């Protein structure tokens, strides 16, 4: 058996290639949209990708099923409840897919979504104990899939959580030694307590995973529906788009370099400038109304939180990273990239009237401002689990993913300061507030960690 895990850190996303070396038949599970790595590995091992399985309709990224099917002729498999615009091989509970002696067996594990499945991997068809199970977003390392993402398209969190309770019971009935390979790890918004570990075992999850402890269905529902991080707006867009026929990713299509006049024309026509440089570089000088989303971080997920899918995008990238930024946007289905600003530093020097600086306060400066007669309105853009650990006194919690829809709650008659854990999300939030028409906006250098170093009282 050939078994390969591919892990994409910026989306905390795992995909898998399983193959029988003797027959050369392979299946890829939960592929991302840029599929060159799977194709290269298949060529290197003399494999033919015969099938693509998505464990469910993903919400946090645009899967690569159409790309792989186009490149290899592979069938596309989903659970039996899945309905898509393209031809689907519906996989029934208990169905076996023989790649040779290596065999895959389908388990229906609904709950994160109605059509969710897990995939048992057997190194030999007759093995009593599977090598592992690909659990998709049903069972994570340290957590289970959140059941609330589809509330806007007709499925209640309560309904799905009850399905998930039964699915976790089925998975925990597998032998202790079965390896668990989930579709996501720490940092993903698909759960609230995901581990940094890339795999585990059923036995370890039974004893160490808080959501796998013995409990009633009602207790489970209350547990897994509470305290989930705010989901980025693009999640529903991707969950729907993964069901549809759409353009495949074209790695040969390169982003177009643009001069400043072209960028300004696009801005006037409604395009958003996504500046992917470091927050300090962005603060030193950026185009008016540019949206900062630093590339060194959870770039795609964050961009999908503050940019609408239908908006045209112009990229300002760190040096020599223009194509990388465009690919990372494409991974969440944001294909409307007009191009990138050629040599931004030179462009900014040539047209200073279009350039703005961003205010960033140190923790002592914020403490002083809060004691003044014109104290700023402080926005905490961390997730609820972080806020519960402590806040700056008087701060109003608005998770970054919710901020675009809650701009009306931010006052315009006083200074505003945004903060997060360390300064990444706060720069994103502050630039979003400026795009929304607020003038006096700063963010906190070093975030809440810097505030705590002042030994200030915690809210």
The catalytic site residues sit at: 420
Q: Which residues sit opposite 200 in a β-bridge?
A: 180
Taking each helix axis as running N to C, give the angle between helix 299-306 and helix 234-241, from 0 to 180 degrees, rounded to the nearest 10: 110
C-alpha 448/C-alpha 63 separation (Å) is: 35
Q: Three-state DSSP class for 418?
A: strand
In Å, how far are 224, 283, 295, 318 from 323, measured between CA atoms? Answer: 38, 23, 12, 10
- Which residues have CB under 8 Å from 73's CB, separation 6+? none
CA–chain centroid gap for 255, Å, is 23
Residue tagged 């994103």 (tokens):
428
Q: Three-state DSSP class for 51?
A: strand
Give yes or no for a contact between 335 and 268, defined as CB atoms under 8 angstroms apart: no
C-alpha 279/C-alpha 295 separation (Å) is: 10
C-alpha 148/C-alpha 62 separation (Å) is: 19
Strands (E), 150-281: 179-182, 200-201, 257-258, 272-275
Residue tagged 């090598």 (tokens):
131
On the CB side of 390, CA atoms within 13 Å amount to 10
C-alpha 133/C-alpha 107 separation (Å) is: 9
Q: In sequence order, what DSSP letters do the residues of 252-274 get, joined into one string? A: T-PPPEE-HHHHHHHHHTT-EEE
Using alpha carbons, select from 69, 65, 171, 179 the residue that is nearest to residue 112: 171
Q: In sequence order, what DSSP letters do the residues of 92-122 get, joined into one string? A: PTT-EEESSS-EEEEEE--SSSTT-EEEEEE
Sign of CA dihedral 429, 372, 394, 454: positive
Give yes or no for a contact between 185 and 206, defined as CB atoms under 8 angstroms apart: no
Q: Three-state DSSP class for 7?
A: strand
């Amino acid at each position: 058996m050939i078994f390969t895990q591919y892990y994409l850190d910026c989306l905390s996303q795992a995909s898998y290639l399983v193959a029988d070396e003797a027959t050369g038949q392979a299946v890829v599970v939960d592929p991302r949209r840029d599929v060159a790595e799977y194709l290269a590995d298949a060529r290197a091992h003399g494999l033919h990708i015969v099938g693509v399985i998505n464990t469910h309709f993903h919400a946090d990224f645009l899967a690569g099923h159409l790309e792989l099917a186009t490149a290899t002729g592979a069938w596309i498999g989903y659970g039996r409840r899945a309905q898509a615009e393209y031809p689907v091989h519906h996989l029934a509970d208990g169905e076996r897919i023989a790649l040779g002696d290596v065999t895959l067996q389908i388990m229906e594990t609904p709950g994160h979504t109605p059509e969710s499945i897990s995939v048992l991997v057997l190194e030999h068809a007759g093995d009593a104990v599977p090598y592992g199970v690909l659990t998709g977003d049903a069972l994570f390392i340290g957590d289970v899939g959140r059941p609330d993402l589809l509330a806007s398209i007709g499925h209640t969190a309560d309904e799905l959580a009850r399905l998930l309770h039964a699915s976790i019971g089925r998975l925990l009935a597998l032998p202790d030694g079965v390896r668990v390979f989930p579709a996501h790890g720490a940092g993903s918004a698909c759960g609230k307590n995901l581990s940094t570990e890339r795999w585990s075992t059923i036995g370890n999850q039974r004893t160490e995973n808080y959501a796998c402890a013995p409990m009633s269905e009602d207790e489970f529902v209350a547990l897994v529906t509470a305290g989930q991080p705010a989901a980025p707006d693009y999640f529903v867009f991707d969950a729907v788009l993964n069901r549809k026929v759409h353009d495949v990713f074209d790695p040969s299509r390169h982003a177009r370099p643009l001069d400043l006049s072209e960028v300004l024309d696009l801005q006037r026509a409604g395009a958003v400038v996504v500046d992917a440089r470091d927050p300090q570089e962005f603060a030193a000088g950026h185009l008016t109304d540019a949206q900062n989303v630093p590339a060194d971080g959870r770039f795609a997920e964050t961009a999908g939180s503050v940019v609408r899918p239908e908006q045209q995008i112009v990229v300002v990238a760190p040096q020599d990273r223009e194509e990388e930024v465009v690919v990372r946007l494409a991974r969440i289905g944001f294909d409307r990239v007009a191009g990138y600003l050629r040599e931004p530093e030179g462009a900014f020097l040539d047209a200073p009237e279009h350039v703005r600086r961003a205010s960033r306060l140190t923790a002592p400066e914020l403490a002083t401002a809060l004691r003044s007669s014109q104290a700023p309105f402080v926005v905490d853009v961390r997730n609820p689990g972080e806020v519960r650990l402590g806040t700056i006194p008087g701060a109003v919690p608005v998770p970054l993913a919710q901020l675009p829809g809650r701009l009306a709650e931010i006052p315009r008659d006083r200074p505003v300061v945004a903060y997060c854990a360390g300064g990444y999300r706060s720069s994103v939030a502050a630039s979003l507030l400026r795009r929304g028409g607020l003038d006096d906006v700063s963010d906190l250098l070093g975030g809440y960690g810097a505030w705590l170093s002042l030994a200030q009282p915690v809210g």
